[in-house]
Chain A
Amino acid sequence: MSFIQSSKGKIILPLVLLPVWYLIYHYLQPFTDWFVFSALGMTKGEHLAEALWFFIFEFPKVLMLLTLIIFFVGIIRTYFTPERTRKVLEGKKTFTGNVMASMLGIVTPFCSCSAIPLFLGFVEAGVPLGVTFSFLIAAPMINEVAVILLFGMFGWKVALIYVATGLFIAISAGWVIGKLKLEKWVEAWVYQTKFGQNSMEEVQIKFSDRIALGYDAVKDIVGKVWIYVALGIAVGAGAHGYVPEDFMAALMGKSAWYSVPLSILIGIPLYSNAAGIVPIVSVLIEKGASLGTALAFMMAVIGLSLPEMIILRKVLRLPLIFTFIGIVGFGIMIVGFLFNWIF
Chain B
Amino acid sequence: MNIKILGTGCSKCKTLEKLAKEVVDENKINAEISKVEDIVQIMQYGIMTTPALVINEKVAISGRVPSKDEIKNLIEKFAHA
Query: Do residues B58 and A199 form an inter-chain contact, with CB atoms below 8 A?
Result: yes
Q: How many residues of B are counted as interface, with CB atoms below 8 angstroms from the partner's CB atoms?
A: 22
The answer to whether A198 touches B40 (Cβ under 8 A) is no
> How long is the Cα–Cα vector from A82 to B63 in the complex, in angstroms?
10
The total of chain A residues at the interface (CB under 8 A) is: 25
A114 with B40: CB separation less than 8 A = no
Give the number of A-B contacts (CB < 8 Å): 68
Annotate A100-139 by CB proximity to B: 1 below 8 A, 0 otherwise. Answer: 0000000001010110111011001000000000000000
- Identify A114's interface contact among B46, B57, B63, CB under 8 A: B63
From A124, A193, A200, contact of B59 by CB (8 A): A200
Contact with B along A177-208 (1 / 0, CB 8 A): 00000000000010001111111100000000
* B43 near A194: Cβ-Cβ < 8 Å: yes
| Interface: B27 (CB within 8 A) | no
Q: What is the CA–CA distance of A118 and B8 in the complex, to the nearest angstrom? A: 13
- Chain B hits for A82, CB < 8 A: 48-49, 63
> What is A's interface to B at a CB cutoff of 8 Å?
81-83, 86, 109, 111, 113-114, 116-118, 120-121, 124, 189, 193-200, 216, 314
Chain B interface residues toward A at CB < 8 A: 8, 10, 12, 39-40, 42-50, 57-64
In the assembled complex, 14 residue pairs joining A and B whose CB atoms fall closer than 8 Å, in A order, are A109-B49, A109-B63, A113-B50, A114-B49, A114-B63, A116-B39, A117-B48, A117-B50, A120-B39, A121-B43, A195-B46, A199-B57, A199-B59, A200-B62
Q: Closest 9 A-B residue pairs measured CB to CB?
A: A198-B46, A113-B10, A121-B48, A196-B44, A200-B59, A196-B46, A82-B48, A114-B49, A199-B58
